[in-house]
Structure 1
């Protein structure tokens, strides 16, 4: 089945100008100035000059919910498909949080497969905060090899809820991720939650400098939690690492301002990503900063921060988009995602001149049209 998208202002994410895009099932098969010769053989959709970009990738989101720090009632709910479509997210990588007991790794796998069946692309990490990695098979390496959706492992450091892992313990997990990835034909990352303890990223530098472990397999997140932590993250990025800035919570300054500061300090945009931490459990405060309950982390801040980076930060559309397209795709090893290019998945977002999201395609299927979600999850009304 062919679909011809006409008259786009194409950002792939590099700016390619006025283009037509041809889709066959879920793949992009042609991009050209004019593909009118195929109009009679395809379903035609006129983009009417809208800006078209790759679909957005959220590499750290809790699709089965998280939270629980104030008891069972503080555990956050699952993410619905329409929530993701509403903010242009067409690919997710999900994970467990603090809790690897009440939240089950097999439940996470089931939700990831559900989202896949409902129309977007979904992946997952094994593990959680603790050193006692929760897996579907008998090991991290087994999950990397035999479980299609597992593309890495999560662990926490520098957090009072972590297991305070040593460099030697981490390097053994990195070995399992890397070797399992080799056999399973995946890149493999150890995705590292960072808390606000004074140890910051010290053990990660030990892995790189003392153990000489390839930095591309080490993926630190929540790097903007404090100024001191972010300064250390900048040094990590200058070594070639990719640092992940959370948009939904735990930032000392707005995420787009963190990016601008990093750029001023000499970090390449290719070494940074945004992720939402969506549906993490957060404390709710009143106007006097007193805790009054809990709330779920929003999932729409990736797009919001990209737009702020463009409109207020003066960063080009092409460069700002890297944070949620090519960079997370490269970090996760998703070689068919993050670009509008022949052979890539047909994940696309369209925006008007004010950078308002108007249309979304996931794997070739239109999910949003003229700001209205037209495909919802199985049990959404």
Structure 2
């Protein structure tokens, strides 16, 4: 199938002006003005007039199997469905385990990732869960990275949190080192995705790795960095002085933030204003993980489920409310995670890249159309391709 998107304002994520984009099979074939439509080749044409065209979004932290709930077995969150992902403009996800590495295991995580890929999006996984020793498929962290195609890193390893295994800083450094080496040997990113709790140690373990070993900060991605103002400020210093990368979590209730929690869009604005280099900042949703819900009086009323759709909500809010530049906001979910995770065909609109594209209405910035690997997933705000069990 050839698809021609006409007359859209392209943010690649840098602004390229009003142009056409031609895709063939799963790749972008050509970008330019007035690309001719050759009817003999059965070209599908989409009118992008009055719309902005973005690269498909990358969500680097999704509990695709669901997560272990905070209220015993009955609060284990359900597995994610395809349209939970695509309606938010996300075309690439990295699946992870969280607190529960027992009833949610690596074999099931890999199978779920393969299933979502068969349904039309691009998927990867992290080896491990909160706990140390790291849960693996082969019995060895480096072997997982070298031998399993979808395993691109390790995580989410919990530190500074009462639910972590309380590793020593030397144990933590060893995991980062093994992940880096496994990445080198397999041509992958070798990134450790790190669950940051609100403990007093904050980023001390990451500082130890950067300051006391030869491992660069690009092999670590601390997430939930906006869970508190204290942690966010610590992250600012870590990023500016040591070159560290920071990931802000978008799944929260913007009307009822936890005490001292910082909304992701606002956190992005703060980081940029403080001089944190824009390429060191990413967003992820924590989608399908369990999150607490509070009533209007601030009283805990139950558990909710993280939403992948929150990823673009925070990008949009960063632009419309927090006055972050559109290109800067987009980079947090496109080129920045693509570069950090070494996803060479993702994160940009350019010839030869995967045809992962998102059309949004210019006046409202609402998602209109989503294409993953050249296939329409969402068209005119309706999911046109659904997961296997969504059609029952």
Which TM-score applies when normalising by structure 2? 0.94
Task: Give ranges in structure 1 of 5+ residues lacking alignment.
Answer: none
Q: Is 1:352–2:353 an aligned residue pair?
A: no
Work out the CA distance in 1 between the residues paired with 2:247 and 2:48.
35
In structure 1, the residue matched to 2:72 is: 71
Work out the CA distance in 2 between the residues paired with 1:313 and 1:291.
28
Q: Summarize deviations over 1:183-203 as a string: whole Å, max 9, x none.
A: 211121011110001110111
Q: Would you say how many aligned residue pairs link Structure 1 and Structure 2?
A: 381
In structure 2, the residue matched to 1:366 is: 376
Q: Is 1:103–2:104 an aligned residue pair?
A: yes
Deviates most, 63-72 or 53-62: 63-72
Q: Is 1:129–2:124 an aligned residue pair?
A: no
Q: Summarize deviations over 1:109-152 as a string: whole Å, max 9, x none.
A: 01100010000001110111111111111211011011111010
In structure 1, the residue matched to 2:115 is: 114
In structure 2, the residue matched to 1:47 is: 47
Q: Summarize deviations over 1:31-75 as a string: whole Å, max 9, x none.
A: 111211645435131323221100111111111100322111010
In structure 1, the residue matched to 2:247 is: 244
Kept in 1, the 8 Å contact 2:59–2:93? The answer is: yes
In structure 1, the residue matched to 2:385 is: 375
Structure 2 SS opposite 1:328: helix
Q: Which of 227, 230, 240 pairs up with 2:229?
A: 227
In structure 2, the residue matched to 1:186 is: 188
Measured at CA, do residues 66 and 129 of structure 1 come closer, stay the same or move farther in structure 2, by a change above 3 Å? Answer: same
In structure 2, the residue matched to 1:33 is: 33
Measured at CA, do residues 37 and 359 of structure 1 come closer, stay the same or move farther in structure 2, by a change above 3 Å? Answer: closer
Work out the CA distance in 2 between the residues paired with 1:269 and 1:209.
22
Q: Summarize deviations over 1:321-353 as a string: whole Å, max 9, x none.
A: 001101111121111100011111100000112
Q: CA deviation at 1:212?
A: 3.2
Work out the CA distance in 2 between the residues paired with 1:9 and 1:45.
16
Kept in 2, the 8 Å contact 1:7–1:46? The answer is: no
Q: CA RMSD in A?
A: 1.4
Kindly report which structure 2 residues correspond to 1:273-352, keeping only aligned pairs within 5 A, or say none: 273-352=282-361
Kindly report which structure 2 residues correspond to 1:9-20, keeping only aligned pairs within 5 A, or say none: 9-20=9-20
Q: CA deviation at 1:291?
A: 2.4
Deviates most, 58-67 or 2-11: 2-11
Structure 2 SS opposite 1:106: helix
Kept in 1, the 8 Å contact 2:48–2:359? The answer is: no
Measured at CA, do residues 327 and 37 of structure 1 come closer, stay the same or move farther in structure 2, by a change above 3 Å? Answer: same
Kept in 2, the 8 Å contact 1:359–1:368? The answer is: yes
Work out the CA distance in 1 between the residues paired with 2:301 and 2:101.
26
Q: CA deviation at 1:7?
A: 1.7
Deviates most, 86-95 or 45-54: 45-54
Q: CA deviation at 1:3?
A: 2.3
Work out the CA distance in 2 between the residues paired with 1:182 and 1:28.
28
Q: Summarize deviations over 1:82-121 as a string: whole Å, max 9, x none.
A: 1111110111011001011111111110110001000000
Task: Give ranges in structure 2 of 5+ residues lacking alignment.
Answer: 253-257
Moved over 6 A (4+): none
Deviates most, 120-129 or 26-35: 26-35
Work out the CA distance in 1 between the residues paired with 2:279 and 2:115.
31
